[in-house]
């Protein structure tokens, strides 16, 4: 995710300042009585400006909301899957259990409040995630039995549960060089097919490993 903002030239005859955009976002959020604001809600609740214009001005819709202190999360449309994916992304990024305050900044894309509303508390959210990722949650999004979800050999991209299992098995460290984001911030772990997918490698726990971006790049260069 980029935090970079790019400037958009003013449309002649319609000069709108950043301050005006922010003021209108705040106005609509207050009017709607919410602390999160989707583009759809902004329009339907009487937002004055074009959502695309706002998003371009600040780099993204989320960045625009951040700029005015409105949560980036779209609570209405947000799914458990997205909440869990965000937690896994943080776990993978930090190489350890994420902390509540880390929801507030990248790479997190969901703020704390949707977790609290859905799961009651941060601890509740973490427990729900671990239950889900370990495959013990009652409600799974897919009807498939857990075995097929875990092996997931039909597609190239491993499921959340499979990625979690790979990272956990590898203790969130690179299988080639032992680098860990928990020890060296900035180390980026990838999930790698040991036998490449293009050469018939399966998307299974046995054929997947955690590699840091450096080792992963080195591997793909020698293939």
**CB-nearer residue toward Zn ion: 191 or 212:** 212
Helix (H, G, I), strand (E, B) or coil at 34: coil
Q: Which stretch binds Zn ion (CB under 5 A): 4-12, 78-86, 156-164, 207-215?
A: 207-215
Q: What is the nearest approach in angstroms of Zn ion to the Cβ of residue 35? A: 40
Q: Which two tokens stand for residue 110?
A: 């969901």
- Please tell me the number of Cα atoms within 13 Å of 184 on its side-chain side: 10
**CB-nearer residue toward Zn ion: 24 or 192:** 192
212 binds Zn ion (CB under 5 A): yes
Rounded to whole angstroms, how far apart are CA atoms 113 and 100? Answer: 11
Q: What is the nearest approach in angstroms of Zn ion to the Cβ of residue 188? A: 10
Return the number of other C-beta atoms located less than 10 Å from residue 42's C-beta: 23
Sign of CA dihedral 182, 183, 184, 187: negative
217 binds Zn ion (CB under 5 A): no
Greatest CA span in the chain, whole angstroms? 61
215 binds Zn ion (CB under 5 A): yes
**CB-nearer residue toward Zn ion: 28 or 175:** 175
Rounded to whole angstroms, how far apart are CA atoms 100 and 123? Answer: 9
**CB-nearer residue toward Zn ion: 78 or 179:** 179
Helix (H, G, I), strand (E, B) or coil at 190: strand
Q: What is the nearest approach in angstroms of Zn ion to the Cβ of residue 161? A: 24
Nearest by Cα to 49 from 75, 23, 30, 77: 23
Q: What is the nearest approach in angstroms of Zn ion to the Cβ of residue 163? A: 17
Residues 162-181, one symbol each (x = binds Zn ion by CB under 5 A, - = not), give ------------x-xx-x--
**CB-nearer residue toward Zn ion: 31 or 177:** 177
Residues found near Zn ion in the complex (CB under 5 A): 174, 176-177, 179, 212, 215
């Amino acid at each position: 995710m980029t935090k970079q903002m790019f400037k958009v030239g003013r449309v002649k005859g319609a000069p709108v300042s950043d301050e005006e955009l922010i003021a209108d976002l705040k106005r609509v959020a207050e009017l709607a009585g919410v602390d999160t604001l989707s583009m759809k809600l902004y329009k339907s609740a009487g937002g004055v400006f074009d959502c695309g214009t706002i998003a371009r001005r600040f780099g993204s819709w989320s960045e625009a909301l951040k700029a005015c202190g409105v949560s980036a999360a779209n609570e209405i449309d947000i799914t458990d899957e997205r909440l869990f994916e965000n937690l896994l992304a943080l776990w993978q990024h930090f190489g350890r259990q994420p902390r509540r305050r880390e929801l507030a900044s990248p790479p997190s894309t969901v703020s704390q409040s949707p977790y609290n509303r859905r799961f009651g508390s941060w601890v509740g959210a973490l427990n729900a995630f671990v239950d889900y990722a370990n495959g013990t949650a009652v409600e799974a999004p897919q009807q498939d039995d857990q075995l097929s979800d875990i092996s997931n050999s039909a597609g190239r991209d491993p499921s959340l549960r499979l990625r979690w299992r790979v990272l956990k098995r590898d203790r969130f460290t690179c299988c080639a060089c032992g680098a860990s984001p928990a020890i060296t911030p900035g180390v980026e772990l990838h999930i790698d097919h040991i036998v490449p997918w293009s050469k018939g490698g399966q998307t299974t726990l046995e054929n997947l490993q955690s590699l840091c971006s450096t080792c992963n790049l080195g591997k793909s260069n020698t293939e």
